[in-house]
Amino acid sequence: MNIVLLGPPGAGKGTQAESMTHALGIPQVSTGDIIRATITERTPLGTEFRAFADAGSLVPDCLIERLVDERLARADCRGGFMLDGFPRTVAQAEWLGSMLARHGRPLTHVVLFDVDDAIILERIAGRVSDPATGQIYHVSFDPPPPGIASRLIHRQDDNAEVLIRRLQEYHEKTAPLVPYYERLGLLRRIDAFGRVTDVTRRVFAAIGVDAPAQTWQPG
């Protein structure tokens, strides 16, 4: 399966990608994670990315497309992949479509996470992650286990001011992908509000796969 997870920041894409990766055996390719890893390397490209990410703006298409191309060429993506956070513009979607067509591995599903901006605000405000495992938690909705609080990080761009800009970018530049993928017959819309396990069931139903009996727990 070659899947795109589409939806605003904080919709729960990364959270669902974890159980999907485990159940489907295909990697999650998160462009946000790739960009944050590049920023950490402190290269000139990382410095350029930082300015965009800190402001909540999208990085230029050509820069991110190159990184996606390299990532999807890796061996672990041969049996399928799950793109999270890419494409985010119609230009990126067109580039992706042509690139995948050239390689004879077209997209099979685009899952749209439908959720209100008010819910997103709550989810982003409480999002923390464990740098040691990459696991995402929410301080109220999915609290981390005791004993790891000191190493948890709250993303720098997960604050109310930057979120406004990120949501603007989503509504202006990414939302047009909904009719774009609808026209291609690939869009599967799911209600992303509700308990994580309920959303998991909806995602699996949308891609036509039996949901795992229970949500996968890391470690």
From the CB of 18, what's the least distance to ligand ADP, in Å?
8
Q: Which does 166 bind (CB under 5 to 8 A by kind): ligand ADP, ligand AMP, none?
A: ligand AMP
Helices 61-72 and 90-102, interaxial angle, to 10°? 30
Which residues does 132 contact at the CB level (< 8 Å), separation at least 6?
148, 151
From the CB of 99, what's the least distance to ligand AMP, in Å?
14
Based on CB atoms, which residue is closest to ligand ADP, 50 or 138?
Answer: 138
Q: Do residues 18 and 24 lie in contact, with contact meaning Cβ atoms separated by under 8 Å?
A: no
Based on CB atoms, which residue is closest to ligand ADP, 17 or 93?
Answer: 17
Interface residue with ligand AMP, options 15, 16, 19, 31 (CB under 6 A): 31
Side-chain-facing half-sphere of 8: CA atoms under 13 Å: 26
Q: How far apart are CA 103 and CA 213, in angstroms?
A: 34
Q: How far apart are CA 122 and CA 138, in angstroms?
A: 10
Based on CB atoms, which residue is closest to ligand AMP, 19 or 89?
Answer: 89
Based on CB atoms, which residue is closest to ligand ADP, 112 or 199?
Answer: 199
Please identify which of the residues 36, 155, 189, 201 carries the catalytic annotation.
155
Q: How far apart are CA 47 and CA 208, in angstroms?
A: 41
Q: Which does 12 bind (CB under 5 to 8 A by kind): ligand ADP, ligand AMP, none?
A: ligand ADP
201 is catalytic: no
13 is catalytic: yes
CA proximity to 113, closest of 213, 207, 2, 219:
207
Q: For binding to ligand AMP (CB under 6 A), which residues are involved?
A: 9, 31-32, 35, 52-53, 56-59, 64, 85-86, 88, 92, 157, 166
Question: Known catalytic residues?
Answer: 13, 88, 127, 155, 166
